[in-house]
Structure 1
């Protein structure tokens, strides 16, 4: 009986994902085609991820393979979260970072959904779901992997940071200091 209940619960949760439950591929074309067919699809995905704790598709999101220098901020509040200097290729298909710019900018919560024990990452200011943190990151950078949904963040290129009010983070993005905590 527990197995049937678990399958029913999983089916209910996955049905909420609707068009977002695709097979994982490295091609971004399927996601782009979906957005072209329905211009509101991205905002629905963002709401599902940030407000309901969903997860976007691996390898088919904006920042998984993004290498430009700059700052990643919370998509809704603009709160500074991660620098490109802490981003690394984890092979997971989602943007991964070794540490936040400011540990106080995020909150961590135990997440036992789907029978897994994970640590959820939320933005402090907006209290929005961003992703999860795991202990399988690069050992020489502290061993953590902040696995973040692209749709929960927005990228500010280095040359736009001052104009958009993020100039104080330039030393971090330029690699002069690893984070605000180390200043």
Structure 2
């Protein structure tokens, strides 16, 4: 192998490593800024509180607590958990026993995605004349949820993260970032 060929090979390997490291740095740095940092808005009164599906991590009760605190008198709870399992007693409780003076509507979005939740919310907002909603989801989902809801809902959005800790390992954060990036790309293509 000639000396110039070895230099070209070494240069290509170094350039490839630099590109991989730069890509990983951008992926991680931007992911941290978009999905780890909390992008919650300041709470203010709204026409409805929309609790997005995902996992039973306190979001349903948090949405109801916001309503009890006077931020809205209607709570929409996404209920994509079908078929029901014994662990879904929470949904039976929050959907079947609303607090006094609060309307709770548990709705199954179609499709069973953030986009489906935004579409059903937009339809109800148009029917009821809502101009401001509070959307509750994971902290790492707020940027994507805001993007999708802006596509579907013409009113003002107040996004709030579920108050909880995220003790994710670096590989789980990397997966979460990749999933959210893919979700944003999908939303850009599908629109509302």
Q: Which has the higher strand share?
A: 1
Q: Which has the higher helix share?
A: 2
TM-score between both structures, scaled by the size of structure 1: 0.22
TM-score between both structures, scaled by the size of structure 2: 0.21
